[in-house]
A and B are shown apart, each in its own frame.
Chain A
Amino acid sequence: MPSEWILLSYRLPREPSTPRIALWRRLRRLGVAQVSDGLVALPSDARTREQLEWAADHVVDHGGEASLWTARPATDGQERALAEQMSSQRAQEYREVAGEARTALHDDPADARRALLRLRRRHREVARRDFFPPAARDEAAASLRALEAHVAGRPATSGATATALARPGTTAAAR
């Protein structure tokens, strides 16, 4: 049976645009699935629920209307479509991390190190909103390990520590 989702239905005036942009950024950071115009969804847990509650408050505070719902997709297929939408967006982000990590392999050590710190952070951000891990996650983790090895000046066959470092924040994905 499909699992429970939390949905935010919202309407926010087109002008001024600042609160709309802030809301858009906030929802993007949370990694929501867009169900339709003004309706977004996340798999329901205490954290996602709370995050969308604050997003709803933000909408109301800026003269909009917002309501929160818990719902189950009526069919497995419908749930799969949401999951695939989210998964492919995360895959895109992971591929960007992987690509930039591969490029940084050609940088001198100081630049490569800066890139590594930035990409680790970016990878963590993506992992935090990754509810349905795509295969590209492993590609990103592997590229980060290679970059770690490059920065450390050792051959690119790295151990378990690097794996652990590259994979935090995936607990939410263990569903």
Chain B
Amino acid sequence: MRWATRRGVHVDRAACAWLIRRHVDPDAEFVFVDDPADVPHDATPFDLRGVELGHRDGRCSFESVLLRYGLDTDPVLSRIGEIVHAADLDDDRFDAPEAPGLDVLLRGLSMTGDDERTLAVSGPLLDGLAEYVRRSYLLGREPA
């Protein structure tokens, strides 16, 4: 399937792409557009104005993808949703000390390469975050 989002990927879009590839569509292909009107007909838009997989009712796009694909019951993904929300919206809704660091790393990535590279690098980074969160759930404390 094809998925479309706006060019200049930051934390919310990078995390959405990761989530889509890992949990929704392993063969996902991503298209980057400047204008929402340029989204190809066969592509599902995300993190664009006015789309279902965007900022809705106080959710960030990552949380909208979780909800749409029934992934919001997964505690690890929900926690990553809180971290991405805090990194993207910075609105004090969740306690997520990881967020400012994640935001800075993703912003730096977007300064040093194109969107394909940002997704390529942020993928393993988010895999690592997911594993860390998973282990903290299993242990009930911060993993070593």
Are B91 and A53 within 8 A (Cβ)?
no
Of the A-B pairs whose beta carbons lie under 8 Å apart in the complex, a sample of 18, sorted by A's number, is A29-B90, A29-B91, A46-B8, A46-B10, A47-B10, A50-B6, A50-B10, A53-B49, A54-B49, A56-B49, A57-B49, A57-B50, A57-B54, A57-B55, A58-B55, A61-B56, A61-B57, A128-B90
Per-residue CB contact flags for chain A residues 54-82 toward chain B (1 = under 8 Å, else 0) read: 10111011000000000000000000000
A15-49 contacts to B (CB < 8 Å): 29, 46-47
Determine the distance from Cα of A67 to Cα of B57 in the docked complex, in whole angstroms: 19
Give me the interface of B with A, judged by CB distance under 8 Å: 6, 8, 10, 49-50, 54-57, 90-91
Residues of A within 8 A of B55 (CB): 54, 57-58
Residues of B within 8 A of A47 (CB): 10
By DSSP majority rule, is chain B's interface helix, strand, loop, or mixed? loop
Residues of B within 8 A of A50 (CB): 6, 10
> B8: nearest residue on chain A (CB-CB)?
A46
A114-128 contacts to B (CB < 8 Å): 128
Determine the distance from Cα of A6 to Cα of B7 in the docked complex, in whole angstroms: 18
Give me the interface of A with B, judged by CB distance under 8 Å: 29, 46-47, 50, 53-54, 56-58, 60-61, 128
Residues of A within 8 A of B57 (CB): 61
> B56: nearest residue on chain A (CB-CB)?
A61
Residues of B within 8 A of A56 (CB): 49
Determine the distance from Cα of A86 to Cα of B31 in the docked complex, in whole angstroms: 37
Residues of B within 8 A of A61 (CB): 56-57
Closest 9 CB pairs of A and B: A54-B55, A46-B8, A53-B49, A57-B49, A57-B55, A57-B50, A56-B49, A57-B54, A29-B91
Q: Looking at B56, B57, B90, B91, which has the most chain A CB atoms within 10 Å of its CB? A: B90
- Chain A nearest CB, measured from B38 CB (Å): 15
Residues of B within 8 A of A60 (CB): 50
Determine the distance from Cα of A91 to Cα of B8 in the docked complex, in whole angstroms: 32
> A171: nearest residue on chain B (CB-CB)?
B107
- Chain B nearest CB, measured from A67 CB (Å): 12
- Chain A nearest CB, measured from B93 CB (Å): 12
Residues of B within 8 A of A29 (CB): 90-91
Determine the distance from Cα of A61 to Cα of B56 in the docked complex, in whole angstroms: 9
Determine the distance from Cα of A120 to Cα of B54 in the docked complex, in whole angstroms: 32
Determine the distance from Cα of A65 to Cα of B54 in the docked complex, in whole angstroms: 19
- Chain B nearest CB, measured from A174 CB (Å): 13
Residues of B within 8 A of A54 (CB): 49, 55
Determine the distance from Cα of A50 to Cα of B8 in the docked complex, in whole angstroms: 10
